[in-house]
């Protein structure tokens, strides 16, 4: 079951495993299921230790297309920080990963974080719609980091 969201423009889809005797395959991105403004410009994979948190941070121009596939469970945190949004100030929290693989599209201006709440390392794939540090890695990084503010409004429990 998909989480009930209170933030406009965030997209969550189940990642389905197609299994056969060789193993399984999952589609992470299809251009016919996503507006062209969110088509990936790159992709990367990260490993997060059990108990570790990434974020909270937000982007001025970039959207993230996260794929939480396991082998652990992640708690995802979203805060709508867009002043022009009808859902400004709303906060969502839900779990995804091994037992419930999800794709989560986080538009620019939505603060996001995730924490590995499982007992082992977990893998996340991200397919953002902008290049990290721009072409040739020669531009400023599009990231507003909130994790260094212990008294800020964006707290991960």
Domain boundaries, the chain: 11-17+24-132
Under CATH, which number does the domain 11-17+24-132 receive?
Answer: 2.60.120.10
Please, are residues 156 and 55 in contact by the beta-carbon 8 Å criterion?
A: yes
- pLDDT tens track for 140-157: 999 999 998 989 999 998
**What pTM does this model have?**
0.95
Please, are residues 56 and 111 in contact by the beta-carbon 8 Å criterion?
A: yes
- pLDDT tens track for 70-104: 999 999 999 999 999 999 999 999 999 999 999 99
The DSSP secondary-structure symbol of 21 reads T
């Amino acid at each position: 079951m998909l989480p009930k969201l209170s933030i406009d423009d965030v997209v969550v889809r189940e990642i389905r495993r197609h299994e056969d005797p060789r193993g399984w395959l999952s589609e992470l991105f299809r251009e016919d299921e996503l507006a062209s403004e969110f088509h990936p410009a790159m992709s990367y994979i990260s490993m997060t230790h059990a108990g570790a948190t990434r974020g909270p941070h937000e982007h001025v121009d970039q959207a993230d297309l996260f794929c939480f596939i396991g082998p652990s469970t992640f708690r995802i945190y979203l805060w709508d920080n867009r002043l022009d949004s009808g859902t400004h100030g709303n906060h969502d929290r839900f779990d995804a990963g091994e037992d419930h693989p999800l794709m989560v599209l986080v538009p620019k201006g939505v603060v996001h974080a995730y924490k590995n709440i499982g007992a082992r390392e977990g893998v996340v794939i991200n397919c953002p719609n902008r290049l990290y540090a721009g072409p040739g890695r020669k531009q400023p990084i599009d990231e507003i980091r909130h994790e260094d503010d212990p008294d800020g409004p964006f707290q991960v429990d």
